[in-house]
Amino acid sequence: MSAWLADSSGKLPRVAIVGGGPGGLFTAWHLEQRTAVPLSLTIFEATARLGGKVCTASFASADIQYEAGAAELYDYSPVDVDPLRELVQQLGLPTVAIGGSAVFVAGRSIANLDDLGDVGGASARREFANFDIRSRSAMTPADFYESGSDHAGDAVAAGRFEPALDGIGCGKARRYVDVMIHSDLATEAGETSCGYGLQNYLMNDPAYMQLYRIPGGNEQLMQAVAGRLAADVRLNAAVTAVGTGPNGALQLQFRSGERHLVEDFDTVILALPMDALKRVRFTDTALADAMRQHVEHHDHPAHYLRVSVLLDRPVPVLPGDDAYVMLDAFGGTCLYVESACDPCATNGVLGWLIGGTAAVEMASLTDDALVATVLDSLPPPLAICRDRVMEARVHRWTNAVSALPGGWSRLPVDRRHRPSRAHSRFFVVGDYLYDSTLNGVLDSAEHVAGWVVAEHASGPGTMLMDRDRATMEALQ
């Protein structure tokens, strides 16, 4: 048994993970997978369910599921090892590749360069091809893969994305690109960096990344992870404050039902989205200062609205057999034909992913008004679905993701995950630290879990590794 454990009077190291979303569950998974010594692991989740933004819900009028949150998973394996893909395989979950090329602009489908040439002439085709070449020159698949790490090159350039788009000299080609990437960005081009914008354009190229989903619902991934955890999971337990207790341990204040409770832990990992992180109070002055800086650096909110509609019969096959199309409505919206992958579907399911400013503006509408609005945006091949609606559901994900993951200037990975040097056993995990994807939050969780396990194995007083110490000194 390690020296650390011997010093703890036989008590197991107590690790608290605050947040039962992907970040929290992945961190717990990696901690349990990697640790060589027993840990007392507790997950605090403010709501009644685990999984966070990975949310598969069911309609009330038929036992048919739809994705209320993340609609797809990203597969980086064409470039290099993809830990998320490996985890999905390890858990025995089936996957199905999905894709879509069509972008509807003014009711006209643009699915390839030939269509773009028809709509905008040779100049549109040329301008778009030039933009594509510039983008790929600026960020290779390897740059794309490494974009969240300390090894990321200059490709993840500072500066806003808008000037890069302004370089497209043809209005129609510019509009095509705007619509293609808007819902993935979940923000406006002027609000994010050139690097993140390029990532969201290049993800359309299969050489950089491919898309897949889990038949039966992406939330199965979260359920499969949660089901294999030995951790003590406390649902409806909202952590309200973090500080340092009288004995030097980290202290959590949380609400469980009507009760307000306090509990000490040796290590605390906050795996919360930015809007939830801002609601946590830090009672220790140094920690509060560090977290204020952390939030200021990373707080670039982006927004989603998900509207899902159940139809009384299957959806007509999309042109090109696509699983989704991009619409020019609401600044650029992704419309998923969720039932497209199920040849035995008795009903159709359509899902709109509205992002950015439009999502904020429309979030105040009533559900009925929202549904009516999105149904008006149906493209010609699907317009017939307007009269086949059985039920509709709306999920608002305002402030739920980051428009600028990593901030305007990327901090070293260690610094991102441990905001306070004085609190060596306090960590944060989140997709906003990498690239606003599930892959990113898995990387974040893996980093922190590896760190925590290494420190617990090596004993107290050794938390600050030489590498980290050098980083901290350089930053000061």
Partner 1 sequence: MIVTDHDEPRDAGRIPAGLPADASLRRVPLACNEELLMLIVPLPDGNDGESAPNPVRITETVTAWAAEVDPRDFTSLPVITVPLYGCHVVWKPGQAAVVGPVSRLELLTTALSDFASCEGELRQLEQRCVDLVATVEEDAPHAFEFEGRAVSRRGTLASRFREAVAVRGRLAVLAPAAHAPPVHPPTLASQLGERLRDRTRLAERHEFAVDRAELAERLYEACGQRISEFGIAQRQMALEWAIVVLLVIQTALLVVDLLSRGAAT
- In which element (H, E) is residue 361 found? helix 357-363
> Which range in 314-322, 363-371, 448-456, 463-471 contacts partner 1 by CB under 8 A?
314-322
> Which tokens go with 375?
């149904």
Closest CB to partner 1 among residues 118, 275: 118
In the set 163, 190, 216, 380, which binds partner 1 (CB under 8 A)? 380
Provide the mask over 253-272, with x wherever binding to partner 1 is found by CB under 8 A and - wherever it is not: --------------------
Within positions 381 to 410, which residues make up the interface with partner 1, using CB under 8 A? 381
Q: How far is the CB of 111 from partner 1 (least distance, A)?
A: 4
Residue 122 in the binding site for partner 1 (CB under 8 A):
no
Q: Counting beta carbons within 10 angstroms of the beta carbon of residue 388, is it exposed (0 to 12), middle (13 to 18) or buried (19 or more)?
A: middle
CA–CA gap between residue 434 and residue 23 (Å, rounded):
12
Q: How far is the CB of 107 from partner 1 (least distance, A)?
A: 9
In the set 141, 320, 412, 459, which binds partner 1 (CB under 8 A)? 320
Within positions 149 to 208, which residues make up the interface with partner 1, using CB under 8 A? 204-207
Q: How far is the CB of 138 from partner 1 (least distance, A)?
A: 15
> Which tokens go with 220?
């199965």
> Which tokens go with 249?
């341990």
Are 297 and 399 spatial neighbours (Cβ–Cβ below 8 Å)?
A: no
Closest CB to partner 1 among residues 132, 289: 132
User: If you compute the radius of gyration of the chain from its CA atoms, what whole number of angstroms results?
Assistant: 23
Q: Which amino acid is at 187?
A: T
Are 355 and 183 spatial neighbours (Cβ–Cβ below 8 Å)?
A: yes
Q: Collapse the DSSP code of 427 into the 3-class scheme (helix H, G, I; strand E, B; otherwise coil) and give the result.
A: strand
Residue 89 in the binding site for partner 1 (CB under 8 A):
no
Q: How far is the CB of 85 from partner 1 (least distance, A)?
A: 18
Are 341 and 359 spatial neighbours (Cβ–Cβ below 8 Å)?
A: no
Q: How far is the CB of 177 from partner 1 (least distance, A)?
A: 11
In the set 2, 40, 65, 101, which binds partner 1 (CB under 8 A)? 101
CA–CA gap between residue 458 and residue 430 (Å, rounded):
25
Closest CB to partner 1 among residues 102, 139: 102
Residue 113 in the binding site for partner 1 (CB under 8 A):
yes
Provide the mask over 200-219, with x wherever binding to partner 1 is found by CB under 8 A and - wherever it is not: ----xxxx------------
Provide the mask over 129-148, with x wherever binding to partner 1 is found by CB under 8 A and - wherever it is not: x--x----------------
In the set 91, 111, 295, 345, which binds partner 1 (CB under 8 A)? 111
> Which tokens go with 60?
């009330």
Q: If phi over 0 gives left and psi between -120 and 50 gives alpha, with beta otherwise, what is residue 85? A: alpha
In the set 7, 86, 118, 150, which binds partner 1 (CB under 8 A)? 118
DSSP state string for 397-415: EEEEEESSTT-SSPPPHHH
Q: How far is the CB of 173 from partner 1 (least distance, A)?
A: 11
Q: Counting beta carbons within 10 angstroms of the beta carbon of residue 319, is it exposed (0 to 12), middle (13 to 18) or buried (19 or more)?
A: middle
> Which tokens go with 25?
């569950």
> How many chain residues interact with partner 1 (CB under 8 A)?
23
Closest CB to partner 1 among residues 124, 404: 124
- In which element (H, E) is residue 123 found? helix 113-138
Q: Which amino acid is at 261?
A: L
Q: Which amino acid is at 474?
A: A
Backbone angles phi, psi at 306, to 5 degrees: -115, 125
In the set 26, 128, 144, 145, which binds partner 1 (CB under 8 A)? 128
Provide the binding-site residues for partner 1, judged by CB under 8 A. 101-102, 108-109, 111-115, 118, 128-129, 132, 204-207, 317, 319-321, 380-381
